[in-house]
Amino acid sequence: MKYQTAESEYLERSLEYLAQFERGEFKPFLENLAGDYRGKVPKELFAQQWNAILQAFGPQERILYSEVSVESGSPVVKVTALHPLRKLNITFTYNTAGSVACVDLQLMPLDVEPQVTDVWEEQPIQVGRSDKKLNGMLTLPRGNGRPPVVLLLPGSGPNNMDEKVGTGGNKPFADLAHGLAEAGIASIRYDKRSYAYPEDMMLADVEGEYLEDADAAVELLLMDERVDGSRLFLLGHSEGGMLGPEVIRRNPSIKGFISFAGTLRRLEDILLEQTKKMLDYADNLSESQKKQQLNGIEQAVRQIKTLDPNDQETMIMGASAAYWNSLNAIDTPALARQMDIPMLIMQGDEDFQVTTDVDYHLWQEVLAGKRNVEFRLYPGLNHLFMEGGTKAIIDLNVYNKPRHMNAQVIRDIAHWVKTVL
């Protein structure tokens, strides 16, 4: 009984540490580190790393799972905490004196449960050619035979299948999939590889990080008897719109393309523009600090543009030279001009990430004179085709307010898919 009591005390202590971390209190934990481990965990660095997790994935919502065991004579506490954008596995290992001998953190994908209504249903799928599959979802309208199907390709960064963003729980791809299904159109969406297997992405190029999985998703749809593969459309959001023409070049079975706040510009140029806009309104920074940050991003952009084509390992702005070289080898404007399938270019006018003044107008310029393209601009909508924010100011906090995708946008996509072929 004493042993069980001791185990429960270790569990309670670990849960209290996590509660303290959420409040920004690290002193009790750091003071209880074992001597040989203390030197491996600098106090300021640990606090910075934990705060970075909270900033990236949101505050802890609840504890999903906890257990305590004894491994090789040492008490081990395992906790799974749910955050808005990730699950976090935390393992505390204690020594016989009760001090923390080790802490291990592991980011895990969120579980997305299939939904069912009277009108549509969802069925889990797996995407990918390797043993490391990606979780995904096929959303099917009921009683509609073999419906047309839309492949939803996500934007940049480690997105899950719903493109869940912000602490408000906004899920633009879930909104889109469900809205299309209500209109009689199927879709698939899946976790990005950088979300499911971030440890594999350090030196990945755009082929391994994005394109191979898009190809595998197309193959999956063409073999699936539940949908009409002869009416397969691609919708690319943000970076998905940038890479969509390349995916279509590789997969000529795709019958239509929707650029959903996509861009024809190079990614590093967009990041530079966004940084400049953010610094214009960064009242918490001095002019010298703003200049220092701007000089850093400008140097990184110059480095990307002058990379050795054979360089694979240099890390710039969180991505490898292999990624930047492979991404910039794709001439998206040229590919878009060559496309002869129907195209729908959609843009929210208050988007501060991909802008009307530059990106939307560039699509119009590049595709001028082509009869197979339609353009739709939506006043008052942001990068997620939701209300909130203004194109004049980059404020990511607008994504922290719970919202849903504009219903008219979904209706317009559904009408176009049904009538364009």
pLDDT of residue 232: 98
pTM exceeds 0.75? yes
* Fold of domain 120-270+300-419: Rossmann fold (3.40.50)
- Whole-number Å distance between alpha carbons of 381 and 260: 12
- The helix or strand, by DSSP H or E, that contains position 247, with its residue range, turns out to be helix 239-250
pLDDT of residue 96: 85
Secondary structure E strands in 312-396: 315-316, 319-320, 343-348, 373-378
- Give the residue extent of every domain in the chain: 2-108, 120-270+300-419
pLDDT of residue 72: 86
**CATH of region 2-108, choose from 3.10.450.590, 3.40.640.10, 3.40.50.1820, 3.40.50.720:** 3.10.450.590
Rounded average pLDDT per 10-residue block, the chain, 421 residues: 64 94 92 85 83 88 93 92 93 91 91 96 96 97 94 95 92 98 98 93 93 98 97 98 98 98 96 90 86 93 94 92 96 97 98 96 97 98 96 91 97 98 87
Q: How many CA within 13 A on the CB side of residue 209?
A: 26
CA distances from 253 to 185, 187, 226, 248, 341 (A): 18, 16, 17, 8, 10
pLDDT of residue 2: 40
pLDDT of residue 386: 98
pLDDT of residue 142: 96
